Amino acid sequence: MFARRSRTAHPVTDEGLRGLTVGAWGMLQTIIVLAVGTAGFATAALYLHSGQPAWPPDGIAPPGAGRGVASVVASVGACVAIVVARRRCLAEARPDTALALLAAGALLVGAIVPLVLDLGALPFRWDVHVYASLYWVITGVVVTYHAVALLMVGATLGQRLVGLIDRDRMLELDNTVLMVFFTALAGAALLALLHWLPVVHTADGVGVPQVGPGSRG
């Protein structure tokens, strides 16, 4: 791929069909990489959980899921706002796209803050048990995803304000839409797994499935 080729140029076939731009392909590849990483975190959590006699262990009470739910709700709201921004950009409608982008950014902040507060209120250190480590890591990963989406929304907002994004030039906005949706889906999946694992028990009601590391069966 030549560096001088515009990332916003659409390849066109002899039949007049338009393909994806270079920038769009780059974003799709990024989403695939992030999805693989997200699946890796989820798999690690399930594997480590499977070998523990209790999750969390005695002496560690799992935090409530309230802040996680608040974060997911805010991230879903950001998805709605970013779609509104795209529709207004296509229609050159008023109020301007910038207002919807600003709302999306505010909602992403609203998705980050509860998770940061959750980590700050935890009664356990990250290194006291594998449960605690996973709680810190997974929550931190979700915060990072939201933070990256927030940066993209901010950059897109700046480009819209200076006139670099309009109905004919909206690659950055389209890529931001993809990232905000991925962030909401990945964040919801990881947080759901994080708060679901402590309530999983074996058929006899004791512990969790003894099939992983540390199991005796």
Question: Domain of 169: which CATH number?
Answer: 1.20.120.80
33 in a domain, yes or no?
yes
Nearest-angstrom CA–CA distance, 196 and 54: 14
Domain count, the chain: 1
**What is residue 94's predicted lDDT score, i.e. its pLDDT?**
73
Give 156's pLDDT tier (boundaries 50, 70, 90).
very high
5 in a domain, yes or no?
no
Out of 35-39, 92-96, 186-190, pick the least confident. Answer: 92-96
Adjacent-strand bridge partners of 166: 169
172 in a domain, yes or no?
yes
Report pTM: 0.84
Task: State pLDDT tens for residues 49-82.
Answer: 887 888 888 888 889 899 999 999 999 999 999 9
Give 184's pLDDT tier (boundaries 50, 70, 90).
very high
209 in a domain, yes or no?
no
Give the C-alpha distances (Å, rounded to integers) separating 78 from 31, 86, 125, 146.
18, 12, 31, 10
Type of residue at 44? A
Give 2's pLDDT tier (boundaries 50, 70, 90).
very low
> Which structural domain range is residue 164 located in?
22-199
216 in a domain, yes or no?
no
15 in a domain, yes or no?
no
- 50, 43 Cβ separation under 8 angstroms: no
Average pLDDT over residues 84-97: 85
